[in-house]
Chains A and B, each alone.
Chain A
């Protein structure tokens, strides 16, 4: 593919620090002309930060960027584009009400300002679509385009401006398999012309198929850059997840009698875009265990949690909690506790005070409501009790939760969801964005709930946490369960491979220990 070995782009010793996090630590990266360069890493490994620096969205604290050997300062996306560096974001940056053509020329200089030069642009648009076999109609508004076509449009935007370096951030996430092959053909065309592509993906197969070299990142630094054809999946997974520091496994009580609390059969559902998010998921979770759900963000974990909570309708299959079918939002707090992924958007009413948020699911019950009148005295005194019990740091129960720190906000949610001692507790990324102290208290509460006899689901993209907490671990990939491991003896490298969608023969396929 690559006709020349010349290096187009070099990132040298890039360091970027955010408050409390070292997002990129002395990162070195180089890109050859006509090369597809894979970029691999877990959520939070620093890939996006690095690419955002290259695209001018972030500015490095130190380090240099060399383009064709020349030192450049990329301070904005506009400068990046002028230098021939373009990016397709994972979440498309298109204006839905404008047509494809209008989106493509958006922000570009025109030859006769202030008027647009639509005719000429359209001719070029059509010519490019023919050249690259993209089949896009320039005059269709974007909102009428299927997701796959929106992806083509994003790429066309870059071609229209004749970009030499294209950054594609998980470009296949929204594509059907046949479209993925088409994308790869297009990428081949691009590299044949000497353009270079940085291809961010969590799918090993794709990286193996399209990339020549792959750079693996972990915890803000580059673990290594290897030629794809020499690397085994096991090796890559190890590079991605292998860690020197591992969280201590949380001590736990043995639980004798287990009974099935959650039973999911052949569950299918769609995501917000209307494409399949879960495919034939079968799952059983028992009392007294923590089931860790690992996987790269966006592989169906959120949809799974929402289906269990009744917030998302499945297209097929059944969910039973304690034998009861889930049909609609569950009201019974002694059956299900659910800590949603986004506490600020879903889990809390930020302008409500602590007591109102704590009573959000129990207010119609006695003693909080008596003869259809809310008993604020009772609500307040009960809230004070919970504030004490769960160590929520707030002056009193009348403070709006928006004034609490993230950790204390999460404690409000966790307190509300566990106080009724639910049979099943589903937690979705419950420690995201929390400081260490708060992470610790969330972990302790989950262990406490497990020891009490609750079935606990712990969904997280943080592998160390999954390993520290889980009795059993499943890994999700593209809406399917890749496999299951015992939490005590789980091999992090196997999890890493599964997260990337690779399953070697010797590994056990999906099996459910609790199947009759």
Chain B
């Protein structure tokens, strides 16, 4: 088409050196480095506490992967972090920060419990499916108002999703207190009646509490990955996340897309709660999640919002939670140290990412500065 390829006779435009391979390796390595740094700093804390960090970490390892029950325990703890983390990561890909997983988790759990309590005249597999679906929809419902406000009214989703957490938690609290509809009668602790067996997530490893929620999580990891990478919808999501103005220019209806993404993300949050009630607790308890939804944010951040990365970072968080008990029993270090390690890992991964971005922009500033100052007005 271009019969006169220009530029060949003029100097320049050589592309800038491209650190593509190095960049890839580094982005995969970043969480690992962050975790190692977190363990290092925590070791100092453990030392200051007067304990041996090596012993402590050995106990942590034993308690999380040292035996079959330990592994099962790790996986059980991974499930809600994985589902919730996926929700955060998915929204993050569109440039949204859903910090409302905790609330969506409670409402999702309540919805799943409700369906799980109704004696439906259907085969168990269908009953379970309906209950899981209800859990997803319950979460999505809890994301509806923030999604609408974000997409069509420009209200920050960070504030609205966060605030609705408290509402969600106390709505569920109300539901399991007598005389509310979901409350069990005459109990020492507010809870719902037991969920019907037909709606239970089957146990994978008899003798442990490892339920099939983990399979649901792993399947959804790959589904999410596929959607983001290989479907037009995922392409739109990523484009909107990277540059909403360019997305609008390319013909994407950005508000509608943001709405859909935040609903799906909240639905994942609902599934996180669903797994807990249908697989592990088998009842809806008052205040049953102790900040799982907030840990899910850390999971997504540590994984850089990459769905496959979420699987690994959820496993890491799960292992910490599982191993912390063993650490407390055998070495005598309080369990909060696990949370310290988590928090440090997330902080380090953010710090490393930030440092990288600064370096990249500094590299880019050089030619960019030339362009900007080239037209001094």
| A interface residues with partner B (beta carbon < 8 Å) | 18-21, 23, 43-49, 297, 309, 311, 329-331, 338, 340, 345-352, 356, 360-361, 363-364, 369, 372-374, 376, 389-391, 393-395, 398-400, 402-408, 432-433, 435-438, 440-441, 444-445, 448
Known interface pairs A437-B13, A444-B6; A349-B375 also in contact (CB < 8 Å): no
CB pair B13 A405 closer than 8 Å: yes
Q: How many residues of chain B get a CB closer than 8 Å to chain A's CBs?
A: 46
Residues of A within 8 A of B11 (CB): 437
Contact with A along B336-377 (1 / 0, CB 8 A): 000000000000000000000000100010010111111111
Q: Can you pick out 7 interface pairs between chain A and chain B where the beta carbons lie within 8 Å of each other? A: A21-B373, A347-B246, A349-B239, A349-B243, A372-B231, A405-B12, A441-B7
Alpha-carbon separation in the docked complex, A448 to B12 (Å): 23
CB pair B246 A406 closer than 8 Å: no
- Which residues of chain B from 1 to 39 have any CB-CB distance to chain A below 8 Å in the complex? 1-2, 4-16, 18, 20
CB pair A435 B13 closer than 8 Å: yes
Known interface pairs A329-B251, A437-B6, A448-B1; A364-B232 also in contact (CB < 8 Å): yes
Residue in B closest to A18 when the chains form the complex, CB atoms: B373
CB pair A393 B376 closer than 8 Å: no
Residues of A within 8 A of B239 (CB): 349, 352, 360
CB pair B374 A20 closer than 8 Å: yes
Among A48, A400, A444, point to the contact of B376 (Cβ < 8 A): A48
CB pair B370 A20 closer than 8 Å: yes
Residues of B within 8 A of A441 (CB): 6-7
Among B7, B364, B376, point to the contact of A391 (Cβ < 8 A): B7
CB pair B231 A373 closer than 8 Å: yes
Residues of B within 8 A of A47 (CB): 377
| B interface residues with partner A (beta carbon < 8 Å) | 1-2, 4-16, 18, 20, 229-232, 234-235, 238-239, 242-243, 245-251, 360, 364, 367, 369-377
CB pair B15 A329 closer than 8 Å: no
Residues of A within 8 A of B7 (CB): 391, 393, 407, 437-438, 440-441
Known interface pairs A373-B231, A437-B7; A448-B2 also in contact (CB < 8 Å): yes
Alpha-carbon separation in the docked complex, A47 to B375 (Å): 11
Residues of A within 8 A of B367 (CB): 405-406
Alpha-carbon separation in the docked complex, A345 to B239 (Å): 13
Alpha-carbon separation in the docked complex, A307 to B230 (Å): 33
Alpha-carbon separation in the docked complex, A432 to B268 (Å): 45
CB pair A399 B246 closer than 8 Å: no
Known interface pairs A47-B377, A349-B242, A373-B230; A436-B249 also in contact (CB < 8 Å): no
Alpha-carbon separation in the docked complex, A376 to B231 (Å): 10
Residue in B closest to A407 when the chains form the complex, CB atoms: B13
Alpha-carbon separation in the docked complex, A73 to B370 (Å): 26
Known interface pairs A360-B246, A408-B13; A390-B370 also in contact (CB < 8 Å): no
